[in-house]
Amino acid sequence: MSFSGKYQMESHEGFEKFMKAIGLADDLIEKGKDIKSISEIEQNGDHFKVTVTTGSKAVVMKDGNKLKATLKGIQSVTELTDANTIVHTMTLGDLVYKRTLKRMS
């Protein structure tokens, strides 16, 4: 399966605790919790570019059907669970933020 495509966030878990732990201000957490972000993944062989509507980008490594990255101590795993669904899990210590995204047409 190809990761390439645009995905819109469908649900998320643990957002507020995770964002507080990385130092995000309360007003920004409040604004961000209802945003339905869009992630675009471009795959070229084993090279990937992930862009989120916030403008953040990351270099990732492919491991089976998962893309893995580490940024500022945060472990990020993006898993293609089926042809149209991505589960993105970020871990900082024992805090976990998990979001589910669906491929856009």
Amino acid at 11: S
Query: Residue 54's pLDDT is what?
Result: 67
CB 103 within 8 A of CB 6: yes
The domains of the chain are located at 5-103
Q: Does domain 5-103 have CATH number 3.30.450.40?
A: no
> What pLDDT digit, counting tens, does each position of 6-46 carry?
998 888 899 999 999 999 889 888 878 877 788 888 988 88
Rounded CA-CA distance 12/44 in Å is: 28
What 3-state class would DSSP assign to 44? Answer: strand
Tell me which residue of 26, 33, 43 sits closest to 99, measured CA to CA. Answer: 33
Count of alpha carbons within 13 angstroms of residue 2, beta-carbon side: 10
> What pLDDT digit, counting tens, does each position of 79-100 carry?
999 989 999 999 999 999 999 9
> What pLDDT digit, counting tens, does each position of 47-67 carry?
888 888 765 667 788 898 899
